[in-house]
Amino acid sequence: AQKVTQAQTEISVVEKEDVTLDCVYETRDTTYYLFWYKQPPSGELVFLIRRNSFDEQNEISGRYSWNFQKSTSSFNFTITASQVVDSAVYFCALSESTDYKLSFGAGTTVTVRA
C-alpha cells in the first residue's frame, strides 16, 4: 500500500514571505517516484517536479526548492519570496516503479496576500 500525507490543509502568507509545504509518504518499494503538482484557480494541475528514490539531491528552480529526505520519508516544497500568483492548491504524489498510477495527498491550499 502507498500513502501520501499532506498535513497542512491551508497556509496563508503575506507576499514575499517564504512558505514550506510538507509531504510525508509511505511505501514498501525501494524504487519509487515523488511528484509535486500545482492547481491554480483555473483548475488544471500543472506538473512541477519528479524525483526518483535514488536521487536525494535537493533541487532548486527559481523561487521553488525541494528537500527530499529518505530517512524521514519526506519530500518538502518551499516557495521563497512568495507572490500572489503562487496562490493555488499544491499536491504531492507518489508512484511505485512497477506502476504508472499516482497516489495523491489531500493537497495544501496556499493563499498569498498582497
Partner 1 sequence: DVKVTQSSRYLVKRTGEKVFLECVQDMDHENMFWYRQDPGLGLRLIYFSYDVKMKEKGDIPEGYSVSREKKERFSLILESASTNQTSMYLCASSSYSTKNIQYFGAGTRLSVL
What is the contact surface with partner 1 in residues (CB under 8 A)?
4, 6, 9, 33, 35, 37, 42-47, 50, 91, 95, 100-102, 104-107
The answer to whether 2 touches 96, Cβ cutoff 8 Å, is yes
DSSP for 68-87?
EEGGGTEEEEEESS--GGG-
Residue 90: CB minimum distance to partner 1, A = 11
Of residues 47 and 113, the one with the C-beta less far from partner 1: 47
Residue 86, Ramachandran bin (φ over 0: left; ψ between -120 and 50: alpha; else beta): alpha
Of residues 47 and 58, the one with the C-beta less far from partner 1: 47
Of residues 15 and 47, the one with the C-beta less far from partner 1: 47
Residue 93: CB minimum distance to partner 1, A = 8
Q: How far is the C-alpha of 45 from the C-alpha of 33, rounded, in Å?
A: 18
What is the Cα 15 distance to its own chain's centre?
A: 20
Residue 85: CB minimum distance to partner 1, A = 18
